Amino acid sequence: MAALLRRSLLEECPRLLLPALARSYAAGPGAARLGIPGVQHIIAVASGKGGVGKSTTAVNLAVALAQRLGLRVGLLDADVYGPSIPRMMCLSGKPRVDEDEKMIPLINHGVACMSMGFLMEEDVAAVWRGPMVMSALETFMHRVRWAPLDVLVIDMPPGTGDAQLSISQRLRLSGAVIVSTPQATLLDARRGCTMFRKVNVPILGIVENMSWFICGACGHESHPFGSGGAEKAAADLDMEVLGKIPLNIAIRETSDVGAPIVATQPDSSAAAAYVSVAERVWQKLQQAEGGGEGQGQRHGPPKIVME
């Protein structure tokens, strides 16, 4: 299966992945970070583990930045093993390649998207070793026609492994957004923050997902996963709480059918929560760009400290 998938992808974009594979071997941890021409800001949406709603947050954050703030936004699905952006954004089909041999992102809800899910069948597993994964990510970062964009949102793979570290080392990230849930906020956030801070990527803040639940029958508000986790994590890790997202069945339903709640139910409280996060993220990016908050946290190649 791995050989068939590898051959299929290489046949689809033969002159794209092979140079990327060579670069992935050549680039060491001290390699200079690169921006993407025509992209003003690149932000990573990450989590210390899977199952916390990271991809849903990344999708709705991207749509909010595009539709509610009027920005030019891209969304890169960096989860090669479990791509979810095609379904959440209701996109399918293989991207076209232009005259410069760059792939053209697929667009929906005002967001330009790229994902491994566009290059293979939905039920096919990417049974790849590290070098092939990194070659695919190199291609998505540098062999895609992203420009012009105000913000590129990267939906990072869950955890803090090789792919996450390599993206953080090789791209000039404007910042990272950590997504977690109340009951494990401190532990998850600490993992993510530790990785980004060790490679000198600014932490924009934490988003507490599944923060509260409103009963549809009686209107009672409850906190099934506890409360206060985001504030404790923010205090202990010296970062900001960007916002809290409710546990709401409409978020799950709209995500499953590729109709993000920010786009399809813009007046809902859940959509308002995502928009509030997007507004704060954009504000912090502008502050950093102007020399204010967050500026000066990224100088030279990353230094990894083993503890």
CA angle 13, 17, 19 (to 5 degrees): 125
Q: What average pLDDT does this structure show over 174-178?
A: 96
pLDDT score of 65: 98
pLDDT score of 8: 46
Q: Convert the pLDDT of each residue in 254-265 to its tens digit.
A: 999 999 999 999
Closest CA to 244 of 203, 280, 208: 208
Q: What average pLDDT does this structure show over 131-135?
A: 79
pLDDT score of 256: 95
Residue 114 near residue 152 (C-beta atoms within 8 A): no
**272 compared with 216, residue with greater pLDDT:** 272
The dihedral region occupied by 256, where left means phi > 0, alpha psi between -120 and 50, and beta the remainder, is alpha
Provide the 10 A C-beta neighbour count for residue 183: 15
Over 60: is that where the pLDDT of 272 sits? yes
Tokens of 222: 């409850």
Domain residue limits, the chain: 2-24+38-287
pLDDT grade for 164, boundaries at 50, 70 and 90: confident
**16 compared with 300, residue with greater pLDDT:** 16
Strand bridging mode 213-214 / 221-222: antiparallel
For the entire predicted model, the pTM comes to 0.83
Distance of CA 3 to the CA centre of its chain: 28
Judged on CB neighbours under 10 Å (0-12, 13-18, 19+), 26 is exposed
Q: At what angle do helices 54-63 and 249-256 cross, to 10 degrees?
A: 80
pLDDT score of 302: 41
Q: Which fold has domain 2-24+38-287?
A: Rossmann fold (3.40.50)
Q: Convert the pLDDT of each residue in 75-115 to its tens digit.
A: 999 988 889 999 999 999 999 999 999 999 999 999 999 99
**212 compared with 59, residue with greater pLDDT:** 59
pLDDT score of 146: 97
Query: Above pLDDT 90, what percent of the chain?
Result: 50
Q: Convert the pLDDT of each residue in 180-191 to its tens digit.
A: 888 755 677 777
Q: Convert the pLDDT of each residue in 27-42 to its tens digit.
A: 444 456 788 999 999 9
pLDDT score of 4: 39
Over 80: is that where the pLDDT of 303 sits? no
Q: Where are the alpha helices (DSSP H) in the chain?
A: 2-12, 14-26, 54-63, 85-88, 130-142, 162-170, 185-198, 229-237, 249-256, 261-264, 269-289
Tokens of 45: 């949406």
